[in-house]
Amino acid sequence: MTIGALRAAGVNLLRQHGVESPELDASLLLAHLLQKDRTWLVLNQGADCDTGIEAQYFSLLSKRTAGFSVAYITGVKEFMGLDFTVSPAVLVPRPDTEILVENALSWLTTMAQQKYKTCKVLDLCTGSGCIGISLAYYHPDIELTLADISQEALSISRINGERILGPEKCRSIQFVQSDLLAFFLENHEQFDLIVTNPPYVPRRIIPNLAQEIQQEPYIALDGGEDGLDLIRILITQAKELLVGEGALFIESDPEQIGSIQELLKNNGFHAIESYPDLSGSLRCTRGIRLIR
């Protein structure tokens, strides 16, 4: 069977099972298996594949039809132009989260120009490390800490730090197991910037999410009854850990934006702004800690 015919068979199989993006997923899985990119597939669609490749390809397709995401099957997800290692121990990085990173980068650039200082940055609920590591990749002059309650997640973030930033830079990163900001409160550590994509899905909604999302770690999804349980706590904690004029960036569901803005205001934050995601819905919110 040729590469083109094999891909077409994969598209048909995924379509029959109701996969939302059969063309893209079939191509990504085949490209991963052949260790090529999708452009190579197009240019070489007339080349023959051996039966071993065919069998492996249909094995990957069967995982996809069983509800596993392409990222978990391949172990890789692109984010901010970088390839991150992922596993079922962490959330799959999503394009909408890039809005959080882009706005945090803009804030860091402004601070660097105004204050000429190295900013201490904390990526809380870091998971794969995609937010903090992307910040360090595109703005190398930061002092980075990655924190998560899950030791498995921290292991994945360390792998990504070493692979994307290099072993030497990764050695300067602090990896901390912490229940939200408890560790840093106990150790009286302060930061210029805290960025976080915390669990914010209302508990009652989780069973109704797409099957592939339900493969992701429950602890990274569950935000309590209204999705704001952990966000309430971390905003209260963050006001104690940020330096004056330090910033907190939080990703959330668009319907939670108003509540988060009010929580920030009530906890001594100002210059509160929210930013739209790729669909135009507000997705992340920034608050600046008043000078104490």
- Per-residue pLDDT tens for 122-135? 999 999 999 999 99
pLDDT (0 to 100) of residue 200: 97
The pLDDT assigned to 210 comes to 87
Angstrom distance (rounded) from CA 179 to CA 150: 9
Distance (Å, rounded) from C-alpha 191 to C-alpha 174? 13
Q: What is the pLDDT of residues 93-113, one digit of tens each?
A: 999 999 999 999 999 999 888
pLDDT at 119: 94
Residues 6 or more apart whose CB falls under 8 angstroms from that of 175 comprise 145, 146, 147, 154, 157, 158
Residue list, annotated binding site: 148, 197-200
Residue 117 pLDDT > 80:
no
Q: What is the pLDDT of residue 79?
A: 98
Whole-model pTM? 0.94
Q: Which region among 15-24, 45-54, 89-98, 168-177 has the lowest average model confidence (pLDDT)?
A: 45-54
pLDDT digits (tens, 9 = 90+) for 196-244: 999 999 999 999 998 889 889 999 999 999 999 999 999 999 999 999 9
Q: Which residues are annotated as a binding site for S-adenosyl-L-methionine?
A: 148, 197
Arithmetic mean of pLDDT, 149-160: 98
Report pLDDT for 149: 98
If 0-12 CB within 10 Å is exposed, 13-18 middle and 19+ buried, where does residue 208 land? exposed
Supply 197's token pair.
């994509």
Mean pLDDT of the chain: 95
pLDDT for 51 equals 82
Residues marked as binding for substrate? 197-200
Which tokens is 272 given?
């509160």
How large is the average pLDDT for residues 165-180? 97
**pLDDT at site 62:** 96
The DSSP string of 32-58 is HHHT--HHHHHHTTTSB--HHHHHHHH
Q: Are 123 and 146 in contact (CB under 8 A)?
A: yes
Judged against a pLDDT cut of 90, whether residue 13 lies above it is answered with yes
CA distance 216 to 68: 9
What pLDDT sits at residue 292? 63
**% of the chain with per-residue pLDDT over 70:** 99
